[in-house]
Amino acid sequence: MRVTNNLIYGQSSRAITQANEKMLTVQDKITAQTEIVKPSDNPVGASQLMMYEGSNRQLKRFDEAIDMATSNLEYQEVALDSLNDSLDEVRTLFVQAQNNINSQEDLNAIAQEVSLITESMAELMNSRSADGSYIFAGTDTKSPPFTLDTEGRYQWSGNEGIKYAQISEDMKVPVTDSGKKLFQDIWTNRTFSSQRLAGDISLSTEVKNQGDFNEFMETYYDPTNLAANTFLVTTLPINAEEGTLPDIDLSVLQADSTEDNLRRMQFDGDPGKYAIMNSLGEVVSSGNYTAGEPINFSGMSLTLRGQPGASVGISLDKPRRDNVLNEINDALVVLKDRNASPEARSEAFQNATVSIQNTQRSVSEGRSAVGGRLNTLQDRGDFSAANQLSNVIAQDRIGGLDLAAAATELSMNESALNASQQVFTRISNMSLFNKI
């Protein structure tokens, strides 16, 4: 083979170029901290790295949704806890107000404090998140869920929609709760009406055991057949025959009739017996009757004073729902009324207390649901972090760089490059004419 200057320069140039490429390749790996800088370095490994990288990007997007959902639910948690504390304060003040040693000035001071707490509760029901969205308004988060009407009563203005956060490919978590369910659709105190139908008697009635009465209402109240919600109480002499029961038309009773208590002159009567019949004429309860002693039936208490032979009609009042703010304000009206009777105040306190208890039960259920979702988000966040770590470990196993080996290889390639350059320099200075 003929050795020419072009051949010498060409071989030297290729040697320098190859050495330089090897050195640059190692430098790129060290900079990128990976063995696979481009797909051609390891086609299979590069494909696996892209798969793990895509998985981590998706997990990070879900992490953002988890963070957003956690923030919203934490706002709800704080609002519900604060609202429950406020309800406790109001209930305590109402208990204090029932003390007979209070003057009207004391009651007015209590009413003023309760009124301020009620305004604070209204703000909590209209709580906003960090971005200004109303958290209890359903999907209409730009408008307050509770507003005051012209009569000073709080009305529900939101909707029952729920927002969800996608925290994984197959899992969504509710991040809002409708204030209608939490605060508006709360059962108020359940009551019944009574009406004297026959007999010269005085009559007083009350719900003696609210729990028993609520259970009775839930079991037997029929919203579609009002006649089924009426009952007839009759008192008879002790020796009366069953056939002597008076024939009373229960259709005269209305579900919304008012209690007929004429407050006639009270007098004791002879002992007798009583029977309570439903709208079908079936006796559902019976026993001995003594004037002035209460007749108790499914949480209801009826006290009659007079001779046996009287008839009293009972009708179950239609249950209704309302938010606790209105029930508390109704009680405050009675509390501030100097002329309100002890019975009226007792009834007002009872109505407000039942509404407070039912609201606290609803708030507690809502708080538990929020806590459960927060736990779910925490678990999902931990799972996502573990998955991302696992993906990073897998990526390092496939394309991880041994820095010590890379540094050694870089040093060797630098030495090879230097040697090639030195050889080229020496050869380029050599010539056959130097030997002649």
Domains annotated for the chain, with CATH where assigned, are 58-187+325-385 (1.20.1330.10), 192-319 (no CATH)
User: What whole-number distance in Å separates Cα of residue 159 and Cα of residue 335?
Assistant: 33
pLDDT at 426: 61
E strand spans, 246-387: 272-277, 283-289, 295-297, 300-305, 311-316
Is residue 256 a contact partner of residue 192, using CB atoms and an 8 Å limit?
no
What residues of the chain score a pLDDT lower than 50? 243-246, 248, 250, 252-267, 402, 435-436
User: What whole-number distance in Å separates Cα of residue 152 and Cα of residue 320?
Assistant: 19
**Which whole-number Å values give the CA distances from 262 to 199, 203, 386, 403, in the listed order?**
12, 7, 76, 100
pLDDT at 80: 96
pLDDT at 243: 46
CB burial class (10 A; 0-12, 13-18, 19+) of residue 341? Answer: exposed
User: What whole-number distance in Å separates Cα of residue 357 and Cα of residue 345?
Assistant: 18
pLDDT at 423: 59
User: What whole-number distance in Å separates Cα of residue 127 and Cα of residue 78?
Assistant: 10
Is residue 240 a contact partner of residue 273, using CB atoms and an 8 Å limit?
yes
Q: Look up residue 35 and give its DSSP letter.
A: S
Is residue 14 a contact partner of residue 22, using CB atoms and an 8 Å limit?
no
Report how far Cα 311 is from the mean position of its chain's Cα atoms: 48
pLDDT at 265: 38
Residues sharing a CB contact under 8 Å with residue 305, sequence separation 6 or more, in sequence order: 201, 202, 266, 267, 268, 269, 291, 292
Two tokens at 425? Answer: 């320099």
Q: Look up residue 289 and give its DSSP letter.
A: E
Residues sharing a CB contact under 8 Å with residue 286, sequence separation 6 or more, in sequence order: 273, 274, 275, 276
Q: What is the pTM of this model?
A: 0.71
Two tokens at 169? Answer: 């490919």
Q: Which is it for strands 300-305 and 295-297: parallel, antiparallel or unpaired?
A: antiparallel
User: What whole-number distance in Å separates Cα of residue 113 and Cα of residue 104?
Assistant: 14
pLDDT at 419: 61
